[in-house]
């Protein structure tokens, strides 16, 4: 990497919500960003334009985390695209933000919901790491987005929380495998945050926000930029000795 070549970050599911905020936060800190999206190319293009207008650089690439068979072709096109734009085919940071949330009580859960959650949040995350880790250089990092629901409980969240707990276990185990290559891997666990996740329920429902705020030490729900700043901090060289950790960013939820 030459002096003028930027560090490159891939952020999955970055066309909206927490992923968008994360892409912007990393770009503000000098990263060139590849933001992936599943369905809305126009939305992704707007995020790219926002980043470039603010003086950063970004490109967008389509990726369906549930379609593991597409990861080989995605990796080839990703390396080609970043080499053409930034002069090298490797990346420095992978943020596994993309995922789905399906919620419901025990009696309402279905096999299809179970398979969708595990297939996207666990299977997709694991095999994307498998595909991209060979192209992350020494000193690079992987950040997997989990949830504070792996620590505290709430009715109707069992399957979602289980999928994210699996991601945390993968994170710790892979830290041992990737550490000899100088790659750090951590998970970040957001608490209640006003994003468009789960249909924007927390963002758009004042009563829900107020109820959850009453159970946080800081007395409110989080903002996407606050989670994004924590992710950017994990990606920075200042935390280069941190790996295999679960970092909760929840404002002190249900302590």
Mean pLDDT on 213-218: 93
**Which residues are known catalytic residues?**
160
Confidence of residue 144 (pLDDT cuts 50, 70, 90): very high
Reduced to 3 states (helix: H, G, I; strand: E, B; else coil), residue 173 is helix
Q: Which residue has the tokens 């949330």?
A: 101
Which secondary structure element, helix H or strand E, spans residue 211, and what is its range? helix 206-213
**pLDDT tens digits for 105-134?**
999 999 999 999 999 999 999 999 999 999
Is residue 151 a part of any domain in this protein? yes
Higher pLDDT among residues 47 and 196, named by residue: 47
CATH code of the domain covering residue 128 = 3.40.50.720
Query: What is the number of domains present in the chain?
Result: 1
Q: Does position 178 have pLDDT exceeding 80, yes or no?
A: yes
Global pTM value: 0.95
Mean pLDDT on 31-57: 97
Confidence of residue 196 (pLDDT cuts 50, 70, 90): low
What pLDDT does 204 receive?
64
Give the whole-angstrom CA distance, residue 48 versus residue 225: 17
User: Do 70 and 36 meet the contact criterion of CB atoms below 8 Å apart?
Assistant: no
What pLDDT does 115 receive?
98
CA 65, 66, 71, 73 torsion: positive or negative? negative
- Please name which of 102, 98, 120 lies closest in space to residue 44, comparing C-alpha atoms: 98
Strands 91-96 and 8-11: parallel
Is residue 116 a part of any domain in this protein? yes
Give backbone dihedrals phi and psi of 110, rounded to 5 degrees, phi first: -120, 160
- Please name which of 7, 9, 37 lies closest in space to residue 23, comparing C-alpha atoms: 9
Confidence of residue 2 (pLDDT cuts 50, 70, 90): low
What pLDDT does 194 receive?
85
What count of Cα atoms within 13 Å lies in the side-chain half-sphere of residue 218? 14
User: Do 38 and 10 meet the contact criterion of CB atoms below 8 Å apart?
Assistant: no
What pLDDT does 5 receive?
86
The strand ranges marked E within the chain are 8-11, 32-37, 57-62, 91-96, 136-145, 184-190, 246-249
Q: Does position 28 have pLDDT exceeding 90, yes or no?
A: yes
Mean pLDDT on 22-33: 98
What pLDDT does 237 receive?
95
Is residue 3 a part of any domain in this protein? no
Q: Supply the range of the domain harboring residue 217.
A: 8-249
What pLDDT does 132 receive?
98
Higher pLDDT among residues 168 and 212, named by residue: 168
Mean pLDDT on 244-250: 98
Is residue 47 a part of any domain in this protein? yes
Share of the chain above pLDDT 70, in %: 95
Confidence of residue 208 (pLDDT cuts 50, 70, 90): confident
**pLDDT tens digits for 48-96?**
999 999 999 999 999 999 999 999 999 999 999 999 999 999 999 999 9
What pLDDT does 202 receive?
57
What pLDDT does 30 receive?
98
Question: Of 6-20, 122-136, 183-197, which gets the smallest average pLDDT?
Answer: 183-197
CA 43, 185, 125, 163 torsion: positive or negative? negative
């Amino acid at each position: 990497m030459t002096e003028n070549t930027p560090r490159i970050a891939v952020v999955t599911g970055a066309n909206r919500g927490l992923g968008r905020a994360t892409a912007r936060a990393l770009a503000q800190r000098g990263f060139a960003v590849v933001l992936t999206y599943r369905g809305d190319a126009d939305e992704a293009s707007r995020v790219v334009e926002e980043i470039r207008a603010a003086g950063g650089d970004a490109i967008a690439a389509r990726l369906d985390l549930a379609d593991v068979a597409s990861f080989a072709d995605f990796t080839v096109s990703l390396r080609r695209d970043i080499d053409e734009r930034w002069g090298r085919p490797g990346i420095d940071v992978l943020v596994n933000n993309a995922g789905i949330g399906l919620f419901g009580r025990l009696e309402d859960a279905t096999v299809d919901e179970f398979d969708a959650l595990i297939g996207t949040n666990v299977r997709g995350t694991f095999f994307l790491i498998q595909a991209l880790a060979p192209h992350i250089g020494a000193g690079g990092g992987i950040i997997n987005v989990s949830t504070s629901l792996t620590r505290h409980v709430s009715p109707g969240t069992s399957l979602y929380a289980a999928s994210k707990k699996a991601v945390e276990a993968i994170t710790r185990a892979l830290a041992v495998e990737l550490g000899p290559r100088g790659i750090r891997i951590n998970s970040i666990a957001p608490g209640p945050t006003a994003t468009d996740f789960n249909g924007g329920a927390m963002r758009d429902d004042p009563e829900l926000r107020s109820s959850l705020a009453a159970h946080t030490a800081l007395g409110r729900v989080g903002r996407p930029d606050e989670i994004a700043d924590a992710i950017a901090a994990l990606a920075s060289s200042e935390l280069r000795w941190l790996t295999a950790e679960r970092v909760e960013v929840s404002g002190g939820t249900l302590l």
